[in-house]
Every structure is written in structure tokens, then in C-alpha cells.
Amino acid sequence: MLKKRVITSIIGLPILVAAVWFDDLLPLFTILVLALGILSFLEFSRLISLSKIRIFTMYGILVTVCFITLRDQTVLEAIEGSYTDWLPVFAAAALILPLPLSIILRKGNYNTRWLPGLWTVAGSIYIGWILGQLVAMRGFEDGRNWVFFTLFATFAYDTSAFFTGRSLGRHRMAPRVSPGKTWEGAAGGTAGAVLISLFFTLSTPLGLPIAWYHALIMGLLISIFGQCGDLLESAFKRYTKVKDSGKALPGHGGFLDRIDSVVFAVLVVYYYVTWVLL
């Protein structure tokens, strides 16, 4: 498993770096996030179907695409618009308006009528709306570096926690939800995320104009909320009685397995930057 994990990371990392780096020339990063959002929602739909609930997959994908594309500045300029926090909400609402009608017309009890709609909305918000913040972050001043900061700090947490937990892990964090996670692994992951965060305060091509204590705080927040996102997805997999969300990424599982900690880290960095630093 470890070998597959390393090989997959070696193949995927250059693609990710290139998409973020060259997004000024073409909306490569938005396209990559769109693909990730669609594939993740398909996995989400499959997992929900294991609990005998059939969600509105196409509606969920439409709303997910809407959330992501309406955070891309190139798209907004093409439609001669400007972004507001309510724009993707209104657009998503317009797309999802047929959903209540479909629920009302559907025959059956509460579970077969309303739960599919609730899970559809929850999935599109969890995947589409949050990934949309990542696209919006690329539009910041120094947006490329902010995206790298978020992703690399999250990956540093995951990688450090993985190896620290394997070698030193003794005390389980949440045995009922995720038996493999330990407090020692979490501590190692936090150290890795903080170190990478502090690296972005140095004078390098990836440097950001932030004080070291802001980087330290964000590194800690990424560690905490990234771990929460990981545990949330583990609980979701427990609910659907599966080990991994998919098999598309050898050694990592599925796309949902790969973004579980990223999505919460994105929210932390996006709102820390917009509320505290700007």
C-alpha cells in the first residue's frame, strides 16, 4: 500500500503544481478542481446508494459545477459580472428549484422522498461550495502561493501524521470512527503542517507577505480542522460500511479520501485571509 501511495503522489503532484502555476495562462486549475468535484460527487452518490438511498446525482453535479465555476474570475469576466458571496448561492438555488417538486411528486415514505434531497444538498455543499473557495483563493493577490500554502500544509499534515502514527502511534484518537488514527500521529502531523506554513514566510518564490505568527496560527488551524474533516469522512464511511470511498487513487483510496482534510483546510485559510489579513 505504501508503495502505491508514493507512486500515485509522484504522478499526481506535478499535475497539480502545473495546474496551479500556469492558471494565469489558462484556467487549468479550475478545470482540475471541476473534474475533482464531479468525480468526488459521483463517489459520494455511490456511497449513499449503499444505504439504499438514491440521491439526485445529476442535480448534485450541476450544483457542484455551479459552485466551482462561479468562483473563477475568468468565468465572471466572460459573463461581464462580478463576484458576490450570494452569486453562487442564487445560481445553485435556480438549478435546484426542480428538486422540491421532484420530492413532492415522488411516492413513498419519508426516507424515500426527503432523504435523497437532503443528501443531495449536503453533498453539493460539502464538495462543490467548499472546493469553490479553493478556486476563489487562486484569484487572490499572491493567489498561486496561497493555494500552494493550503495544499502543501495539508499534505504535510497527512504525510507526517501517517509516518509518525505508523512508527510511534500508541494512543488511539477515535477508535470507533478511525482505529488507525493516534494522538502521536496527530502531533507529528501538526508539527509537519506548522513547519511547512512557516516556510512560506521566507523569502522564496513561494513566499507570502505574512508574519510568522499568522503562518503559525494557520498551520495549527489547518491541523485541527483538517483532522476534523478526516474524521468526518471516516464517520461517513462507517455509516455506509465501506473502507475507502473508491479505488481510483491506488494507495489513497478514492477522491473523497484524498480531499477529506483539504476541504476544511481550504475554509480555514480562505476565511482567515479574507477576515484577518485583508
Provide DSSP, 7-18: HHHHHHHHHHHH
pLDDT in tens, the chain (278 residues): 555 565 666 677 788 888 898 887 668 899 999 999 999 999 999 998 888 888 889 888 988 998 898 888 777 776 655 555 555 555 655 555 555 555 555 555 555 567 787 888 889 889 999 999 999 999 899 999 999 999 999 999 999 998 898 898 888 988 888 888 899 999 999 999 999 999 999 999 999 999 999 999 999 999 999 999 888 888 888 877 787 777 776 656 788 888 888 999 999 999 999 999 97
pLDDT at site 157:
95
Strand bridging mode 172-174 / 178-182: antiparallel
Provide DSSP, 196-259: HHHHTTSSSTT--S--HHHHHHHHHHHHHHHHHHHHHHHHHHHHHT-SSS-SSBTTTBSHHHHH
pLDDT at site 212:
96
pLDDT at site 263:
92
pLDDT at site 179:
82
Q: What helix, strand, coil percent values describe the chain, rounded to 5?
A: 75, 5, 25
- Distance from C-alpha of 212 to C-alpha of 191, rounded to nearest angstrom: 15
- Distance from C-alpha of 127 to C-alpha of 114, rounded to nearest angstrom: 20
pLDDT at site 190:
96
- CB under 8 A, 24+ apart: contacts of 274-277: 276/214, 277/210, 277/214
Residue 245 in contact with residue 43, Cβ under 8 Å? yes
